[in-house]
Structure 1
Amino acid sequence: MTIEGLTVVDDVPGAFAEQVVEAFGARAGEAFSVALSGGGTARRCYERLAAEAATRIDWWKVDVYWGDERCVPHDHEDSNYRLAREALLDRVGAANATHLMRCAEVDAYQLRVGDLGRFDLVHLGLGPDGHTASLFAGSEALDADPGRLVALNEDPSGLNPYTRMTLTLAGIARGRTVVVTVEGEEKAEALARVDRGEDVPAASIGGERVVWLVDEAAASLLPGT
C-alpha cells in the first residue's frame, strides 16, 4: 500500500469517533472547528460519534462547518446539513456555532474559512468514481487558484446530480487532521486507484495530518491486504 496514513479497521464509525475525540483534546485553542461530510458512511460515523462521544466532547466549544453541500434547501433529503443535524447535532443537543453552506453565499463562506485559518478536523468520504467532497474528475474546482478555498462545482459526467458548494483542495488542506472514511466493496476500485496514484480527485487530498480509515471490503483490492 502507498496511501500514507491508511489503516484497515473492523469498525470505521467507531474509529472515526475516536479520531474526533483525539482531535478535540489536541485542539490548538479553546474552540474546536470541524468540517462535516455527507453520505451513508458519514451518517453512520456521526450516529456513532453522538452515541459514544457525546460526553467526551464539550459541544459548546464546537464550531461546525461543512466540506460540501448540494444546492438544495437545507431540509431536503439530499442536504448534508440535514444529514448532520439528524445523525449528530440533534442528538448532542447543540454546538457553539453551525456555519451552513449556502450556494448563494460562496464568497461569504470563503471569507469565513479564510478568517478561521485552519480547521481542527475535516471529514471526507470517497465516491466510487474517486471524488471527495464535491470535487469531481474534470471539474473546474480542481483547478481553483490556491487562494480559493470554497467554490461552486458540478460533476461534468452528470453522474452526481446538483450544483454543489465545496471546499477546494486548498480548503481541505487547511485541516490539522483530515479523516477520510471508506466503507464497502463498491469503494474498493476507487481506493485502489488512489493507492496507485491515478489522476482521481481523492488522490490529491492533503492536510497537516491525513488519516484514512477503511474497512476490509474497501481495502480488498489493495496490495498486501
Structure 2
Amino acid sequence: MTSPLIHITDLKKHYQMGGTTVRALDGVSLDIEPHTFTVVMGPSGSGKSSLLYLLGGLDRSTSGEISISDERLDQMDENALALFRRRTMGFIFQSYNLITSMNALENVAFPMQFTGIPVSERSTRARQLLEQVGLADRSHHRPAELSGGQQQRVAVARALVNNPSLILADEPTGNLDTASGITVMQLLSDLHRSGRTVLVVTHDPRMTRFATHKIFLLDGHVVSEDEYQSAALEVP
C-alpha cells in the first residue's frame, strides 16, 4: 500500500479580525494520494484557500501537521520551504499573477532564473510549454494583450517550468467565461493524466467532472457531500 502524497493532521488556522477569532481551518485531517485529481469544494469563507496556501507553504498554520512526500512543511524554515516549493509544486492562481511588463514567453521563463538554467534553455523550455497550452502564437504578447483565458493558460505553462509533481490551483476558473473555464479545466485534467497530482480549490461545480476525489469544506471543517449539499440548500 502506497503512502499518501499529502498527509494532514488536525490542521488549524486561526487569526484575529478586530476582537473576533476567525477559525479559517479548525481541525482538518485528510490524506491525498499521489496521481489523483482532488477538488476541494466550498463557498467563500469555508477555508479552502487557507488550506491551499498552507499546503503550498505560503502561510503558516496555527497548529497541526502537514507532510508532503513524507517531508514536514510545518517544521521547515522559510529557505527550506522555498526550495521545497521550487522542486515539488506548481501554482495557478485565480488572478493569474503575471508580470505585466513581460510578454508570455518571459513570464513562463521567469521562475527558471532561480534554478541556474542557461538563458537559451529557459527560452526553449518556455516555448515548448506555451505550445503545450496552445499559445505558441501569443508568446510575444504581454498580459494586457491577452484574454483572461489566455492569461490563465500562460499561468498554467509557468506552473510547469520546473516539472512539478504537484499542481495547486486556487479558483483557476474564477475570473473566466464559460468556454475559457472549460479549456483550463481540460488542461488541468491533461496534467493529471500525464502523471501529476492535481489539487484544485473552487466553488465551480463543473470542476468535479474531472475529479478522482472530492473534499467538501464548510466553516473550516471537512464535511460529507450530503452535509455540504444540505447546507447549500439552506442558503437564502
Q: Same fold (TM over 0.5)?
A: no
Bigger proportion of residues as helix = 2
Larger Rg: 2
For the aligned pair, the TM-score class normalised by the smaller chain equals 0.3 to 0.5
Please give the TM-score of this superposition, normalised by the length of structure 1: 0.37
Bigger proportion of residues as strand = 2
